[in-house]
Amino acid sequence: MAVLPIHYHPDAVLREKCEKVEIITPEILKILDDMADTMYHADGIGLAAPQVNIAKRLVVVDTEPREEGERGNPVKLINPEIIGRSENLTVLDEGCLSLPKMRVEVARPDQVTCRYMDVDGEMQEIWAEGLMAKCLQHEIDHLNGVLIFDYLSPLKRNIALRRYQKNLRNLDE
């Protein structure tokens, strides 16, 4: 398994609508394993394939508490889709591995039901609330080319993007 390079905004792959996975191949399984390694290496709780320059509908998530650098037991989702959501919205200060040092308050449904294919090709449904629900929505947004600052008003988005560009320049120094 390998740690893949994470792509940062404004990389074009982050705005692509990803392709559905038709057949689970050994390559797809390796990508999911590598994505999990990458997520843990970056101390993230979720990662979508476009963040590692792969325009396929693949997501890994693990919101369970763990020590820094520790590997958990990730949920690997192929072709995930939200099929149900609560009407109750809650706000979470979200970060993103593709937007380093940027945090944005995003209002999302507090509970969701997600349908996906597992690594054995079986259709599964997962009901999630709280952080797991937010993480699933965030990562599935990536599969549709949506980023956290897209939830902001135009004025707040411009301010956040200017701050992000400054942060990105500081990362290069």
Q: What is the pTM of this model?
A: 0.93
The parts of the chain modelled with pLDDT lower than 50 are none
Q: What local confidence, expressed as pLDDT, does residue 69 receive? A: 65
3-state secondary structure of 127: strand
Encoded tokens for 135: 């993480």
Strand partners, 78: 58, 117
- Candidate list 67, 81, 139, 173, residue with the active-site label: 139
Q: Is 139 a catalytic residue?
A: yes
Q: What local confidence, expressed as pLDDT, does residue 166 receive? A: 86
3-state secondary structure of 51: helix
Domains and CATH numbers, the chain: 12-172 (3.90.45.10)
Interatomic CA distance for residues 113 and 99, integer angstroms:
26
